[in-house]
Amino acid sequence: MPGLIQSVQRAAAILRLLATRSRPLGVAELANALGLPKTTVHGILRTLQHVGFVEQDPHSGRYRLGAALLHLGGSYLDGNELRTRALNWADALAARSGESVRIGTLHEGRVLVVHHVFRPDDSLQALDVGTLLPAHCTALGKVLLAYEPDPAGQLPTPLDAPAPAAITSPAALKRELAAVRRRGWALDAEESAPGILAVAAPIRDRRGITVGAIGVSGTVERLRAGGTLRADLVPHVRDAADSISRDLGFPDG
Amino acid sequence: MTQYIAAIDQGTTSSRCMIFDPSGSIISIAQQEHRQIYPKPGWVEHDATEIWTNVQQVVHDALRQKDITADQIAAIGITNQRETTLLWDRTTGEPLHNAIVWQDTRTDQLCRELGAGIGQERFRERCGLPLATYFAGPKIAWLLREHPELRARAERGDVLFGTMESWIIYKLTGGTHVTDVTNASRTMLMNINTLRWDDDILAAMDIPRAMLPEIKGSAQTYGTATGELAGVPVASALGDQQAALFGQTCFAEGEAKCTYGTGSFLLLNTGTTPVQSANGLLTTVGYQIGDQAPVYALEGAIAITGSLVQWFRDNLGLITTAPEIETLARTVDDNGGCYIVPAFSGLFAPHWRSDARGVITGLTSYITKGHLARAVLEATAWQTREVVDAMNNDSGVDLTTLKVDGGMTADNLLMQFLSDVLDVPVVRPMVAETTCLGAAYAAGLAVGYWPDIESLRANWHKAAEWHPQMEAATRDREYHNWRKAVERTLNWVEHDSR
Ligand SMILES: Nc1ncnc2c1ncn2[C@@H]1O[C@H](COP(=O)(O)OP(=O)(O)OP(=O)(O)O)[C@@H](O)[C@H]1O
Ligand SMILES: [Mg+2]
């Protein structure tokens, strides 16, 4: 049919194929299945990867559908819904850690605070739901970036430094995000503000996609008295993140 | 081994089990919805067998979630949707019909008859409540009238009545037939001063005393559980709203809370004397710990709040989940002149008008679904305002902050608007599930898991706070419009011609 763009048709075919297979596929497999040259398929995959529609498995090099694609079609989790579903666990985290709790989602390269629980000391605190925080230097932001297909592409250049400890080199940030993925949690060691520490972990949904991050933050004196991070902090944060993920249907939560 | 307290919340839409640690923090939660059965317009029923199955399931799930065993549970507390009425067979332990839910209006005609020329207020002095379809007594009377074959057996005590806590305790303990003072205070059958079944009201409603459960305190051991929780003391029962008052640690006279769930309920602790309302509020028992003096409360009951959001979701289909109402409402800056008054089964406090039905007013071609979403959320806030005004009038003291809890407190737009229209700060505590927490607190007190109410108070912390930001002129104009909208709901149902 005239007027149709061949490369878009081919991209659609690749996506359909990835959607029907339960395991990631390699370039050669895709090329064979579609009867196309490997170089053509590779070029299309790179473009699809760039826009977040496919992801490449770092170990096997194979491709699967990406987070951005799954966010299309209304399956993306509304921030108000995330807050409602997480309410009980965010409260429990604040009570156990004795610190304030925030839940964030990624919004145009920054962290949108969708939920905030006060530090349980009944002091004067203001609700900061709706605030946007930088992503590269906050614990919430690092968690969210770590599970994004193209983190660097979303961030402002150059990376700014709201505090001296902030990571400003893209290469160092890449290493840091890899470490976050390995550990399953992120630390903000006075990177977003001097004197403030934060720990965060990913909230995942049924498909295993990271739909938000939950974390605690507090002063260095309280969280790192004696030079080491309070030992119960990471387990508390991960426990809350896992409980919310389980409620959202994440199988290993 | 760490000991915990478990609470079962048998609610209108779902049953939950939560397990709490000594600091009052939630350890695990399991929840299961049950069917809402609508046999005719105005009728709402639940299958009590389904509910009991779900209760057992959520207990099992909550324990398994954190690998907790029955010997780690120091006590279990029960809290429940109030007024929902069930008759069951003593011999088989099986329900004799579907439970009639509090929202059900089938007793409308019967309630007018029971007014016997005196009207709605006929029994108020004795039981603290106006004659309304909401309460359990008329529902029992309706069932016995409709099923005359049950009457003789009820007189012999072979047919038993209970509200949902009574049913759950009966099943859980394998046959203990009790209720607690807070639930009994919602039947219209208990004398609010003596806390005993009132023979004159029983006679007027033609209800045999033998079918009624024994009235107990709200925090005491009623028996020992069987089944998965075998050996655990069943140590508290409180209606869900009273449980929330307890969970919010409103232990002092003058302390109040409002819980935002399916309906919304503002309760004010009035100390050890029952206060009769001149402004359409209910006099009810707040709680009774062991055999201490009972603590009373004034209650403003709003039937439709969260359920309006559900209606918007399920019947209009404009959203797919309840929290999306906030997202939709934020697509516009105001209500565009539109107001929704959800008098689905009449207006409850402070109006008590069963002839009212819902309206959407101020419709123009300008109105979008965003405005409707705003109007839905605003309806909850304005209904609260009416109840707060009544409460301030009755108590002579103005509310200075509102403590809130329940599922709708997750809605920031609503909480801000609520603070705006009440013109006082709105505060949410660290545990929004205060209903379960209150039942757990009461059970924990009964078995000595917590030493006293002071230790419970120390667990209360502020989780969020909203401050008024609305201009007084705007607030006044909007309240004026709301009241006009309420006027439009009245006299819709013309009696005898439904
Ligand atoms: N973010 C939200 N915004 C507005 N309404 C909400 C939101 N989240 C939940 N709701 C409403 O809150 C109600 C659920 O709250 P909750 O779980 O406290 O109800 P509940 O009254 O305890 O339930 P039950 O009647 O079964 O006891 C539902 O009616 C739902 O529509
Ligand atoms: Mg409830």
**Per-position DSSP letters for B14-78, written without gaps between them:** EEEEEEE-TTS-EEEEEEEE---B-SSTT--EE-HHHHHHHHHHHHHHHHHHTT--GGGEEEEEE
d(CA B79, CA B434): 11
Nearest to B348 by CA among B306, B308, B384, B311: B384
Q: Are A199 and A186 in contact (CB under 8 A)?
A: yes
Mark whether A101 and A29 lie in a shared domain: no
Residues of B in contact with A120 (CB under 8 A): 430, 461-463
Let me know if residue B55 belongs to a domain: yes
Residue B278 structure tokens: 């001149």
Q: Are B85 and B15 in contact (CB under 8 A)?
A: no
Q: What is the pLDDT of residue A76?
A: 62
Annotated ligand binding at B4? The verdict is: no
Mark whether A186 and A202 lie in a shared domain: yes
Contacts of A252 (CB under 8 A, 6+ apart): none
pLDDT > 70: percent of chain B: 99
Let me know if residue A120 belongs to a domain: yes
Mark whether A170 and A236 lie in a shared domain: yes
Residue B61 has pLDDT above 60, yes or no: yes
Q: Which residue type does B270 have?
A: T
Mark whether A134 and A210 lie in a shared domain: yes
Does residue A43 sit in helix, strand or coil?
helix
Distance from CA of B218 to the nearest CA of A (A): 25
By the 10 Å C-beta count (0-12 exposed, 13-18 middle, 19+ buried), B351 is classed as: middle
Mark whether A19 and A80 lie in a shared domain: no
Mark whether A33 and A125 lie in a shared domain: no
Annotated ligand binding at B407? The verdict is: yes
Task: Provide the residue range defining the domain that includes A47.
Answer: 6-71
Let me know if residue B193 belongs to a domain: yes
Angle in degrees, CA B378, B382, B385, rounded to 5: 145
Alpha helices in A98-190 (DSSP H): 139-146, 151-154, 170-183
Mark whether A64 and A91 lie in a shared domain: no
Domain count for chain B, please give it. Answer: 1
pTM of the model: 0.83
Task: Identify the residue whose C-alpha is closest to ligand 1 atom 19.
Answer: B261
CB atoms B25 and A122 under 8 Å: no
Alpha helices in chain A (DSSP H): 6-20, 27-34, 38-50, 67-71, 79-97, 139-146, 151-154, 170-183, 220-223, 233-247
Mark whether A243 and A195 lie in a shared domain: yes
Residue B303 structure tokens: 């039937």
Q: Are B449 and B74 in contact (CB under 8 A)?
A: yes
Let me know if residue B117 belongs to a domain: yes
Q: Are B32 and B58 in contact (CB under 8 A)?
A: yes
Question: Alpha-carbon Rg of chain B, whole angstroms?
Answer: 22
pLDDT digits (tens, 9 = 90+) for A99-149: 999 999 998 889 999 999 999 998 889 999 999 999 999 999 999 999 887
By the 10 Å C-beta count (0-12 exposed, 13-18 middle, 19+ buried), A207 is classed as: middle
- We report the CATH number of the domain holding residue B230 as 3.30.420.40
Q: What is the pLDDT of residue A67?
A: 67
Query: Domain ends where: A18, A47, A71?
Result: A71
Query: Domain ends where: A40, A56, A71?
Result: A71
Residue B45 has pLDDT above 90, yes or no: yes
Let me know if residue B306 belongs to a domain: no
Q: Which residue type does B443 have?
A: A
pLDDT digits (tens, 9 = 90+) for A168-190: 888 899 999 999 999 999 999 99
Question: What interface predicted TM-score (ipTM) does this complex get?
Answer: 0.85
Domain count for chain A, please give it. Answer: 2
Q: What is the pLDDT of residue B247?
A: 95
Does residue B237 sit in helix, strand or coil?
strand
Ligand 1 pocket residue status of B413, Cβ below 6 Å: no
Q: Which residue type does B15 have?
A: S
Q: What is the pLDDT of residue B498?
A: 40
Distance from CA of A63 to the nearest CA of B (A): 32
Interface test with B, best of A76, A85, A91, A105 (most B CBs within 10 A): A91
CB atoms B25 and A78 under 8 Å: no
Q: What is the pLDDT of residue A1?
A: 66
Give the strands of the sheet with A110-117, arranged side by side.
Answer: A132-134, A110-117, A100-107, A210-219, A196-204, A186-189
Ligand 1 pocket residue status of B409, Cβ below 6 Å: no
- Number of Cβ within 10 Å of residue B436's Cβ equals 29
Let me know if residue A252 belongs to a domain: no
Mark whether A64 and A111 lie in a shared domain: no
Query: Domain ends where: A49, A71, A93?
Result: A71
pLDDT digits (tens, 9 = 90+) for A23-53: 788 999 899 888 999 999 999 999 999 888 8
HSE on the CB side for A166, CA within 13 Å? 17
Task: Identify the residue whose C-alpha is closest to ligand 1 atom 28.
Answer: B306
d(CA B267, CA B239): 12
Mark whether A58 and A37 lie in a shared domain: yes
Let me know if residue B411 belongs to a domain: no
Task: Provide the residue range defining the domain that includes B64.
Answer: 4-240
Let me know if residue B215 belongs to a domain: yes
CB atoms B461 and A127 under 8 Å: no
Residues of B in contact with A117 (CB under 8 A): 430, 463-464
Report, as an integer, the average pLDDT of B111-121.
87
pLDDT digits (tens, 9 = 90+) for A209-246: 889 999 999 999 998 988 898 999 999 999 999 999 99
Q: What is the pLDDT of residue B439?
A: 97
- We report the CATH number of the domain holding residue A52 as 1.10.10.10
d(CA B181, CA B239): 9
pLDDT digits (tens, 9 = 90+) for A44-90: 999 999 888 888 887 788 998 876 776 565 446 788 999 999 999 99
Alpha helices in B315-452 (DSSP H): 324-329, 369-395, 412-422, 434-446
Residue B240 has pLDDT above 90, yes or no: yes
Let me know if residue B261 belongs to a domain: no
- We report the CATH number of the domain holding residue A104 as 3.30.450.40
By the 10 Å C-beta count (0-12 exposed, 13-18 middle, 19+ buried), A152 is classed as: middle
Let me know if residue A253 belongs to a domain: no
Residue A167 has pLDDT above 90, yes or no: no
Let me know if residue A102 belongs to a domain: yes
By the 10 Å C-beta count (0-12 exposed, 13-18 middle, 19+ buried), B167 is classed as: buried
d(CA B357, CA B343): 5
Atom of ligand 1 at shortest distance to CA of B410? 1
Nearest to B205 by CA among B297, B85, B303: B85
HSE on the CB side for A241, CA within 13 Å? 29
Nearest to A139 by CA among A225, A237, A228, A247: A237
Mark whether A26 and A45 lie in a shared domain: yes
Phi and psi at B353, nearest 5°, equal: -120, 105
Mark whether A212 and A97 lie in a shared domain: yes
